Amino acid sequence: MAALRFAVIGCGAIAESYYLPVLTSRRDLCSELWIVDPEPARLETVSRQFKIPNVATSLSQVLDKIDAAAIASPHDTHFGISQTLIAAAKHVFCEKPLTPSVSEATELVALAEKANVILVPNNLRRYAASFREIKRIISDGSLGRPLSASWAEGGKYSWPTKSGFYFTQKSRNGRPPPGVMLDIGAHVVDLLCWWFGEEPIVLDCRTDSFGGPEARATLILDFAGVRTGIDFSYYQKMSNSYSIRFERGRISGGCYDEHRYTVQQESARPKLVKLAPRGMTYQEHAAQMIAEFVGAIAGGKQPFVSGRDVLPSIQAISEGYRCAKSYDAPWLPRFGK
Amino acid sequence: MSQETILVTGAGGFVGGTIVEALHFGEEYRVLAGIARWSSAPRIARLPITLVQCDVLKPDELAEACAGVDYVIHCAVGDSEVIVQGTKNVLDAAAKARVKRVVHISSVAIYGAATGQVDEETTAPQATLTTYGEAKLASEEVCRKAHVDVVVLRPSVIYGPFSAVWTVRNALRLVHGRWKHLGALGEGKCNLVHVHDVVRFAIAAVRQAGVVGEAFNINGPEIVTWNDYMERFNKHLGLPDITFQAASRTQIKTGLLSPIRVIGKYALKHHSTQLSWLARRNDRLQNLMQQVELTLKCTPDSDELSLFSLDAHYRPDKAERVFGFRSDIGVDAGLAMSVAWLNHMGGPN
């Protein structure tokens, strides 16, 4: 596997904590590294922090110097940057969500396939040992058909964003900009689509948006009869757990438990299944994902998660936003003048 | 006439966030929501309002945020430096920008362990102020010397939706069955005021005549004991009755946990990365840490125990007389609203 010449596009928090520690330390994956950001001050800080001499303020300055790029910029820039990279026959590793819009995501997938470049979204949860095992159980039918599922995930927002882009986005097409449902949902809805192998129908969607990005959302999906309720929050810790009810049992676990889950067969006692001694760290995930990406390029094959794989989840989230209604919220201070 | 503008500092917090929501829904003023960091943005960013960077310890940011503003409602809170120096910075910036009035959200914590009927003239008995109370008192002193019109509000125990302490933490204690009836330790007066009532006073204070240079206690319409409050809260959550625990046992538990609380706070402040690294590598350690955290959250510390037995009523008569209205959300109505919100949030976790 030959190491690639990489660019990291965007020098915000995700670049700092996820991409750059791996790309600067794994010479087997990255032979030369460029960082690109429109803010010179930010470039300088990151360049100094990671000892990266190759800096650029625009993508066009590096296009002929790289083989691939990791896009770590705000999500509403993913489409344009990916388009430029694919047009220049560069492989793309894109932070999730691939794009907020299904039409844009579909176009990118088609462009990448036509240009014969690898397009990988950073949907890292599919790699978790516990979630892979659940996929296997659903597929082999050992607990029967899944009947319903639930997922609740949230916590007080603490992402060390540099730009605050989630909170400063402008509305698109007359709709509020996306918030927590796109941010966390890009992982969760993708995982559920993968597990149940279906393109879901949106039964209901509620958000607490009044024109800005929502901080609380509920999405009810139907995966060919598997009714699934998903809750998201930026406010405070939720139960951070999931549960799937099957014809002959139940599986449950913690949203962040990548190495264990609990299974209950029929009326037997619940059993904790441990698959590995521990979960992976953030940077171990990054190393795994980038190695997979580089390996796919070297081998000329599709990676474990491709751009096409995440289209159903982007479709479901987009549709959720399209039909979103408000919660009944009697606690709002609407006493006026 | 064009809309007047109100800058709310600490707009991402519990009280500041509720003020921003009320101002938005009230449609009477243009709102600028001042936040020190993006992590406090989610609640208010969902409204179509303007967010401004406004760390009260950064005079440059304050100067920019105050430009063109008619009123400031100052809710930003934090450690003593934020409370005292931050308030001075806000007042200086407001004076320079010719802001018409600043409403400063202080606290009844400035009365320390004063007992009985506490009005605005009461002073704290010597050596009874908490660090927070001391800082709030110092911030009021800063207000008295300001070169801008200031109104000071001193709310009592503010509860309601989004209250991390008096709503979420207490619900957590009850839901986990960790709360015991405190007996004599919990028979102090629980001066609850619903956040919506505080917000009504704060917004009214920007234009109200006859309030500049004055301080006002803001309290709820109903004074219950802490035991009563927790029992009513428990009932609203639909939980089995709270059991009794001898006062001596509660005090021993609080005392024993005190050093663990100090060590835990220190470790979280200085070694949180290492702790989460360790927890990721060992399930037993992770479970142990979660249990310790829950036990600490569910056990009152010594400051709380002092508060729960304090026999004081913060009289809101002056505010009611001058503003011409009173707090009207009773404990049961306030708790019903809090529980509806908690359920919406997925309960206390």
Mean pLDDT of B123-146: 96
For chain A positions 305-334, those within 8 Å of chain B (CB to CB) are: 327, 329-334
B39:A235 CB<8 A: no
Q: How many CB pairs under 8 A join A and B?
A: 113
Task: Provide the pairing of β-strand A241-246 with A146-154.
Answer: antiparallel
- Let me know: does A223 contact A120? Beta carbons within 8 Å: no
Range ranked top by mean pLDDT from A302-306, B82-86, B248-252: B82-86
Query: Per this entry, what is the length of chain A?
Result: 337
CA of residue A54 relative to chain centroid, distance: 28
Dump pLDDT digits (tens) for B259-277. 999 998 888 888 888 888 8
3-state class of A39 per DSSP?
Answer: coil
Rounded to an integer, what distance in angstroms lies between the CA atom of residue B183 and that of residue B177? 17
Place of tokens 């569910």: B298
B25:A336 CB<8 A: yes
Spatial CA neighbour of B66 closest among B32, B36, B38: B32
Of A213, A231, A240, nearest to B45 by CB-CB distance is: A213
3-state class of A305 per DSSP?
Answer: coil
- Cis omega before residue A213 (within 30°)? no
| A183 inside 8 A of chain B by CB | no
Chain A residue with CA closest to B337: the answer is A331
Rounded to an integer, what distance in angstroms lies between the CA atom of residue B133 and that of residue B135? 5
Average pLDDT score, chain B:
95
Could you tell me the maximum CA-CA distance found in chain A, to the nearest angstrom?
Answer: 68
Chain A residue with CA closest to B203: the answer is A337
Of B47, B277, B349, nearest to A212 by CB-CB distance is: B47
Rounded to an integer, what distance in angstroms lies between the CA atom of residue B185 and that of residue B307? 9
Domain ranges of chain B: 4-164+190-220+309-342
Rounded to an integer, what distance in angstroms lies between the CA atom of residue A13 and that of residue B272? 18
Dump pLDDT digits (tens) for A308-333. 999 999 999 999 999 999 999 999 99
Place of tokens 């006073």: B201
The CATH topology of domain B4-164+190-220+309-342 is: Rossmann fold (3.40.50)
Which residues of chain A have a pLDDT value below 50?
Answer: 337
Chain B residue with CA closest to A164: the answer is B38
Place of tokens 């500041």: B16
Higher pLDDT, A163 or B15: B15
Spatial CA neighbour of B348 closest among B236, B242, B231, B264: B236
Per-residue tokens: A277: 């001694």
Of A279-283, B32-36, B138-142, B232-236, the poorest mean pLDDT is in A279-283
With residue A220 as reference, give the H or E element that holds it: strand A216-223
Rounded to an integer, what distance in angstroms lies between the CA atom of residue B335 and that of residue B147? 40
- Residue A148's contacts (CB-CB under 8 Å, 6 or more residues apart) are A226, A227, A228, A244, A245
* Domains of chain A, each with CATH number or no CATH: 4-123 (3.40.50.720), 125-282+314-326 (3.30.360.10)
> Chain B: nearest CA to A290, how far in angstroms?
22
